[in-house]
A and B are shown apart, each in its own frame.
Chain A
């Protein structure tokens, strides 16, 4: 550590004796000048740093503004309730919204069962030893794998081996694996936050470990787990790459009726419309309108998650 702060002598003492370190008294003046410099530098750098912090927020503002402007006139009830069309004015995202909903109908149960169970296992049952840390390392590595790779995994396993093609089921399962770490980590934290004395009280009455977990620990951990599930779902709603790799079609007119059907989803629509904006300028407006819908949905979900956490989380 290079603590390069100079300690010069201070003002002369009352009887006009200066400290011996600086007999000719020149140090005091230089000191003041340098100090003014340093303070000025401090002020300027604070200004610069605060500006650069604002840069990201300004960009955020521009992004939201521009996209909202581009969607004006295009985002209305017709847009939400119409199906796709080769005529941009008539096109709507009913299919995409349905597709997204169907997708989540797979993601939510899978992620709840697998993710919460994994967290329960890690927190309540595993010996805090090698197995537990191995699984933990695994989960944190999975969390940083790029989403395209999950797409490749889904394509090979769900698409080809299980012959699910590019159906909702294949997409849903792929997405579930992608966002699983989010749920596991959030649930683990929620379980850990349950105080030990509640478990003790239950054991002292002859309850078994599973009874204690199911009847005492889980009910208390529910708000935290729910927050994790909502966050994972909001992540899944916005993901595009895995679905594209799976082979979700560019244009699909048929609305899905079962989880084995092909589908489209909001982020996919945004992608394909954006790619073709050169050919059809209005696609940019359609994409912008879809983005607004997507962002609104995400905003509502995240807001709900925060509400749940603040309102129901008990502080022990």
Chain B
């Protein structure tokens, strides 16, 4: 066997020569790249806080919490309550759509539907979730609003109902799939116990499964709210930019997200109070969604029944 004896020597030579550089460098390089994700979070928090601080130092708190928002007016005023108000209303309407339809879909898919139906319906709902929000925005403005205007004559072209409804539809798959996961996680044995006693599927759903899965279901609602708060394009297009503080949902309102997008597309000069107001609103937005997400995690953990 001619070459075989050489192999051992060749390998030994290679090992003694090999300084193992790639093995020493790679873990360090990989760690650096993994830290980018932390850097990103730090970057977000830093830029928001620093520039928001500049805003709060130039604008008295009384003004900030006023309802007068006119950043580009002759006497600029930066009251952010109209934005919070707009966000609340759009989110409310969205959840009024998303929660009932989302939960019903989840109940149907997990408790009533046959396997063959599930296989078709579930992916189709996922498609709904994958559509870019700008498409929903266009849909809301060019189809839903005119349709609603026929039903509600006093409805304005830019209003809150239309984007609210469309946002709700967009969030249905999120609520549906998370709630469905929660309900599917309930052990079969619990359901069988109830069915074996002669319960109908409806009774099993409402008296056994939903109570057991309630933490996951509520978490899905909270995550849906978080999503609605952070949604931008649908409201930017369809609910307009009125900064009036009003409770009239047939009129235009501006959300926090739409404000950020509207202001920058109008070429915000760096260093102006208006520029810093973006970051103040951004900080608020970040905090709201962060709180919602933490709340969802908390609910999910705390109220989960141990199976």
Contact = CB atoms under 8 A, between A and B. Distances in A.
Direct contact of A and B (CB under 8 A): yes
B137 A146 contact: no
Nearest to A268: B134
Contacts of B207: 1-5
A250 interface: yes
B197 A53 contact: no
Given A121-B31, A271-B233, A291-B138, A139 B37 contact: yes
Given A3-B194, A38-B203, A59-B169, A118 B137 contact: no
**A: interface residue count bin:** 35 or more
B66 interface: no
B contact face: mostly helix, strand, loop, or mixed: helix
A211 B30 CA distance: 14
A238 interface: yes
A238 B132 contact: yes
Nearest to A51: B104
B278 A63 contact: no
Interface in B139-157: 139, 141-143, 157
A239 B51 CA distance: 25
Nearest to B112: A46
B61 interface: no
A84 interface: no
Nearest to B47: A156
B122 to A, nearest CB: 10
A57 B201 contact: no
Interface stretch (B68-76, B78-86, B224-232): B224-232
A157 interface: yes
Contacts of A253: none
Contact of A278 (B128, B157, B173, B197): B157
Contacts of A67: 135, 138-139
Contacts of B105: 49, 52-53, 56
Contact of A135 (B29, B38, B139): B38
Interface of A: 1-5, 7, 38-39, 41-42, 45-46, 48-50, 52-53, 55-57, 59-60, 62-63, 66-67, 70, 113-114, 117-118, 120-122, 125-126, 134-135, 138-139, 141-142, 144-153, 155-157, 160, 177, 180-181, 184, 206, 208-211, 234, 237-241, 244-247, 250, 267, 270-271, 274-275, 277-278, 284, 287-288, 291, 294-295, 298, 302
Interface of B: 15, 20, 22-23, 26-27, 29-31, 33-38, 40-41, 43-44, 47-48, 51, 100-101, 104-105, 107-109, 112-113, 121, 124-125, 127-128, 130-139, 141-143, 157, 169, 172-173, 176, 194, 197-203, 207-208, 211-212, 223, 226, 229-233, 236-237, 257, 260-261, 264-265, 267, 270, 278-279, 282, 285-286, 289-290, 293
28 contacts: A1-B208, A3-B207, A4-B207, A7-B197, A42-B203, A50-B108, A52-B104, A53-B113, A53-B121, A56-B105, A63-B143, A66-B142, A118-B30, A120-B30, A121-B33, A122-B34, A142-B41, A144-B226, A144-B289, A149-B230, A153-B43, A153-B47, A156-B47, A157-B47, A177-B40, A240-B132, A275-B237, A298-B130
Given A3-B194, A60-B128, A275-B237, 16 more contacts: A3-B207, A5-B198, A7-B197, A46-B112, A49-B108, A53-B113, A59-B169, A63-B143, A135-B37, A141-B290, A145-B44, A152-B260, A210-B23, A244-B261, A247-B264, A274-B137
